[in-house]
Amino acid sequence: MKRIFALISVLILSGCGYALQGGGSVLPPDVKNIYLPTAQNNSTELGLALVVTDAIREQFEGYGVVTMLDSIVGADAIMRVKILSVKQNTRSVSAGTNAAGMQAVRLTVGAELSRLDGQVLWSDPGITVSTTFGSDPTSVVTSSSEFAGGTISSGDLSSLSSRDVSRNQGRQALITLADTLAQTMYDKAIAPDF
């Protein structure tokens, strides 16, 4: 009886479309090694190209489906990424000071995965990810993952200017967005049906 129940359970679960991410790929079977040159940065954010490139590399290699290469030698395909824009705007203003309390940041990139002969395997001309962050010492959420990953501690907040806090939190928000972007790209390019 237990065997019948186990067999029925396996059949039901396999028919429901459940699958673990990373268990497969929609890429042709001969595409295993992808050359990832540094992203082209059309924004004014210095250093963002390396942050985005590293996040993509880590995400794509994390599931073991493909290997990301630093050189075109041995590559089956190439992933080109272009940072199109980084836009920030004020979401809230602190009462009495007219200082920005919360900022929103939006990162937009275009990406294309193609064989070395130019055959496009996947492309998306406009992937956008966004988040908000506290840009004033009184509006920073010190329990957030963005703050925890930053370079300042909650004890330092009161001694920093709003400008310093905003810069630090904005930089950490871009790192978080790069990770979110990399996950989105992986889901679209490698495993959209999984």
* Residue ranges, the chain, pLDDT below 70: 1-24, 91-101, 135-166, 193-194
pLDDT given at position 10: 47
> Left if phi > 0, otherwise alpha if psi is -120 to 50, otherwise beta: which for 74?
left
> Exposed (0-12), middle (13-18) or buried (19+): which is 42, by Cβ within 10 Å?
middle
Q: How many CB atoms lie within 10 A of CB 48?
A: 21
Please, what are the domains in the chain? 22-189 (3.30.160.150)
Q: What span, in angstroms and rounded, lies between the C-alpha atoms of 184 and 111?
A: 11
pLDDT given at position 148: 53
pLDDT given at position 19: 37
Cα distances (angstroms) measured from residue 38 to each of 9, 51, 52, 68: 46, 9, 8, 12
pLDDT given at position 61: 94
pLDDT given at position 167: 74
pLDDT given at position 52: 98
